[in-house]
Amino acid sequence: MQDVESVPVKPPRGAHQTRCDDKGRLKLPVVFQQYLSELKEQTVFITSVDRRTARIYPISLWKENEILFGAAGGDSEAAARVAFVANHFGADSEVDAQGRVLIPTTLRRHLGIENQPVWLDTFGGRINVYSDTEYEQRLTTAFDGIDDNVKVLERRGLK
């Protein structure tokens, strides 16, 4: 029998809409609160590395990125630049009793998400935050040629 502690925590599936309030607090849907709780992480690092989306990293996952930056070897210039951008926009935040996190002021103003709806999904253990506009642009791009993309993946085994 597998030890419960060794079972990996599964991130939520799907896209979820929520809102960033006028004070920059983002209410996490229950499935994201449960995800962080199962990870035993209430501290997160919130940043952007692409200037279009916010990323909410469980702090242990962000620490892995910091190790990667420090051990980038031949890619040290790229690592230094990404780390600089992440630190410019980023800050630690605690999940409060109402399941909210505070999006850093510089980041939320840059993304234009103050007092706005946002979309959340997960990738690689992090939570991605998209403005309504960014989400719609990505959805439009994803729909472009979707029939052909589905056919390609069905040939590769998509059920």
The CATH number of residue 32's host domain is 3.40.1550.20
Q: What is the sign of the dihedral through the CA atoms of 93, 96, 99 and 104?
A: negative
Task: Give the pLDDT confidence score for residue 8 in this predicted structure.
Answer: 81
Task: Give the pLDDT confidence score for residue 9 in this predicted structure.
Answer: 87
The tally of domains found in the chain comes to: 1
Give the pLDDT means over successive 10-residue stretches in the chain (159 positions). 59 96 96 96 97 97 95 91 97 97 97 97 97 97 96 96
- Residue 61 forms part of a structural domain: yes
Beta strands 25-27; 100-102: pairing state: antiparallel
Task: Give the pLDDT confidence score for residue 5 in this predicted structure.
Answer: 52
Task: Give the pLDDT confidence score for residue 7 in this predicted structure.
Answer: 56
Range of the domain at 65: 4-131
- Residue 62 forms part of a structural domain: yes
